[in-house]
A and B are shown apart, each in its own frame.
Chain A
């Protein structure tokens, strides 16, 4: 039985980020991949949309330059023939400040012939900003 593309991609992505070894990842990305991690790009330049393999490898390098993944857990996963949706919990460190960050995210991946063609990631970015700042942001209460 062939392994689902999501598992190969996931291993390669974490190798690219934590070990700075992008070769496996490069081999699993379609030339015209669409990539979007929704979030404030002025604060986190490695968020936002990218298109094409080179741009995605570049942004993964930017992620590797900024964070280290300590632990991740897939809390839910759904696999289609050429797609995967998962809810994940990550423990990260912002590399330079050594500040720990814990977040949950939703990941939606699509594949064609084993190559990643689309990736969309949704994060509770308000919580991410507060954790990175190390303090709460006070908001007005709306009844």
Chain B
């Protein structure tokens, strides 16, 4: 597959996702679209493993419900034939307290016939949990973690 086709599809997907344009996101995905975002689903029910391209509509609905504004900037993109990897810097303004949560997300895409068929995504989930909850969890667990590392 042409690198330019892959680059355009992935760029369209990310632009549309953060713009909240579910129809455009769906247009970028194959029917058997499979997505895994590695994150705790108690707080992020639209993440985890999701199948089918209509996942995007629900994910965007939840994000729009929680966040007043969403900004994203692609900071890195590597493309090799039908595969792409990106990093995106994201800033979301929470509706409940107007605080802005910021994080860097890494996404990996595989395309088939010009459409995204698999999507895998990572971010510093512990930090984002703290930002979403609005309080620091480090004190509660730092000593336990240090003990666990020591045995």
The count of residues in chain A whose C-beta lies closer than 8 Å to any C-beta of chain B is: 43
Binds A, one of B16-24, B49-57, B140-148: B140-148
Q: Are A133 and B144 in contact (CB under 8 A)?
A: yes
Q: Are B85 and A108 in contact (CB under 8 A)?
A: yes
The minimal Cβ–Cβ distance linking A43 to chain B, given in whole angstroms, is 4
The minimal Cβ–Cβ distance linking B49 to chain A, given in whole angstroms, is 13
Report whether over half of chain B's contact residues are helix, strand or loop; otherwise say mixed.
Answer: mixed
Residues of chain A from 19 to 69 with CB closer than 8 A to chain B in the complex: 38-40, 42-44, 66
Bound state CA distance, A134 and B127, in angstroms?
Answer: 19
A-B CB pair tally, cutoff 8 Å? 132
Bound state CA distance, A38 and B105, in angstroms?
Answer: 10
Q: Are A142 and B43 in contact (CB under 8 A)?
A: yes
Bound state CA distance, A110 and B11, in angstroms?
Answer: 21
Which one of B127, B146, B148 lies within 8 Å of A125 (CB-CB)? B127
Known contacts A66-B149, A132-B149, A139-B40: A127-B125 contact under CB 8 Å = yes
Which one of A83, A125, A141 lies within 8 Å of B78 (CB-CB)? A83
Q: Are B151 and A122 in contact (CB under 8 A)?
A: no
Q: Are A123 and B40 in contact (CB under 8 A)?
A: no
Residues in A lying within 8 Å of B, measured CB to CB: 38-40, 42-44, 66, 76, 78-80, 83-87, 94, 96-99, 104-106, 108, 120, 122-129, 132-134, 137, 139-143
List the 8 shortest-distance A-B pairs measured between CB atoms, nearest first.
A97-B151, A106-B106, A124-B38, A85-B85, A126-B125, A125-B126, A38-B124, A96-B151
